[in-house]
Amino acid sequence: MARGEKQHPVDVHVGGQLRSQRVLYGLSQSELADKLDITFQQLQKYETGSNRMSASRVWHASRVLGVPVSFFFDGIDENADPAAGILNTRAGLELVRDFEACSKEVRDFASGLAEAAAECLNTTPKKPKKAVG
């Protein structure tokens, strides 16, 4: 991108989507860059939208991150401020990641409770023995 040239909102959005998935997966820029066979500096440029990702790079990123190609374009609004919104901040992305981890733990806990309750309900209680005499 030439000096002084404005970033296109679509490039900023695609880069933001790339960054959000990277943070949600808990990957550093270097780790994801290695998986994409690029430098971490290039990844930074993609994430900020200062460099455009080619179609083949978007496709490769979708495979590495386990999302459909359309994920990178979901929710695009060329008229919106790409910097707005909590999900465009590290704290917001970490909050979502932590919430998802917590949700999984709560689901696992609830599932364990349900299994334990089912076992208890399927067990016939023992009746006290009558005294002989």
Q: How far apart are CA 70 and CA 20, in angstroms?
A: 15
Tokens matching residue 15 = 């880069």
8 Å CB contact between 18 and 72: yes
Q: What ranges do the domains of the chain cover?
A: 9-88
8 Å CB contact between 62 and 71: yes
DSSP single-letter state for residue 125: P
- Measuring CA to CA, which residue among 44, 56, 37 is closest to residue 19? 44
Where b means 16+ CB within 10 Å and e means fewer, 74-97 reads: eeeeeeeebeeeebbeeeebeeee
Lowest mean pLDDT among 3-7, 22-26, 34-38, 118-122: 3-7
Q: How far apart are CA 32 and CA 13, in angstroms?
A: 18
Give the pLDDT of residue 76.
83
Summarize pLDDT for 63-116 with one digit per residue, the tens: 999 999 999 999 887 565 555 555 666 777 777 777 777 777 777 887 887 788
Class of domain 9-88: mainly alpha
Summarize pLDDT for 23-72 with one digit per residue, the tens: 988 899 999 999 999 999 999 999 999 999 999 999 999 999 999 999 99
Give the pLDDT of residue 47.
94
